[in-house]
Chains A and B, each alone.
Chain A
Amino acid sequence: DADVTQTPRNRITKTGKRIMLECSQTKGHDRMYWYRQDPGLGLQLIYYSFDVKDINKGEISDGYSVSRQAQAKFSLSLESAIPNQTALYFCATSDFRGNGYTFGSGTRLTVV
């Protein structure tokens, strides 16, 4: 099994719908992150969490929310999806030293 698992792998949704992307990890890392990848822009940080009770906004958090259900689970929600949220979304984990970033395989989200 992968160290960081994202579900679903692909999703098409309609404008205005609520959608949740899920991430689970077996690395035992405390830190978890959600990134968004757009062509030509690299990855941008949406939200990050240092532990279950510590959640922080990243560079582009507007229109997104997150939930850290357990040390191993970190979900990203789009409350009302819009077309410019069409992107590839990555979950990642790291240890407290900032080492060992591990990325999931990504969720490709299309909002029509």
Chain B
Amino acid sequence: AQSVTQLDSHVSVSEGTPVLLRCNYSSSYSPSLFWYVQHPNKGLQLLLKYTSAATLVKGINGFEAEFKKSETSFHLTKPSAHMSDAAEYFCVVSPSSNDYKLSFGAGTTVTVRA
């Protein structure tokens, strides 16, 4: 079985300050991990993915995430938030790189203050 816990339902940051979105997972296998972003009235867009290569994964729009097996975490960070980063973010786990069973976290809503 696998599960995903996003530790914060809402995160509010000032423009230009760092963003940290926390995600812990549980999986019986060597998982693949993803972060998706959903802007209002839009579909989900892939930010980045981890599939057992480098533990520090760089994604689009300046985001990156670090896979820490010992902590079963996959936190998402960005050094400097932009107004356009306001959205909902989902941490997603798949048991392996060749498995369809995605498990979604409940989501973290990010607001960016001017």
Chain A interface (Cβ within 8 Å of chain B)? 4, 31, 33, 40-45, 48, 50, 90, 92, 94, 96-99, 101, 103-106
Contact B98–A43 (Cβ < 8 Å): no
Contact A98–B104 (Cβ < 8 Å): no
Contact A98–B32 (Cβ < 8 Å): yes
Chain A residues with CB under 8 Å of B43's CB are 4, 90, 103-106
Q: Sorted from nearest, which 10 A-B pairs have the closest CB atoms?
A: A42-B104, A103-B44, A103-B43, A105-B43, A43-B104, A42-B106, A98-B98, A104-B43, A97-B98, A40-B106
**Does B9 reach chain A (CB closer than 8 Å)?**
yes
Chain B interface (Cβ within 8 Å of chain A)? 4, 9, 32, 34, 36, 41-46, 49, 51, 90, 94, 96-102, 104-107
Besides A90-B43, A103-B45, A105-B42, 15 other A-B contacts (C-beta < 8 A): A33-B100, A40-B9, A42-B4, A42-B106, A42-B107, A43-B104, A44-B104, A94-B100, A98-B98, A98-B99, A99-B51, A99-B97, A105-B41, A105-B43, A106-B43
Which residue in B42, B51, B102 is a CB contact (below 8 Å) of A101?
Answer: B102
A39 to B45, CA, bound (A): 18
Which residue in B42, B94, B105, B107 is a CB contact (below 8 Å) of A98?
Answer: B94
Give the number of A-B contacts (CB < 8 Å): 52
Chain A residues with CB under 8 Å of B99's CB are 98
19 CB < 8 A contacts A-B: A40-B107, A41-B106, A42-B90, A42-B106, A43-B90, A43-B102, A43-B104, A45-B101, A94-B100, A98-B94, A98-B96, A98-B97, A99-B49, A99-B51, A101-B102, A103-B36, A103-B43, A105-B42, A106-B43
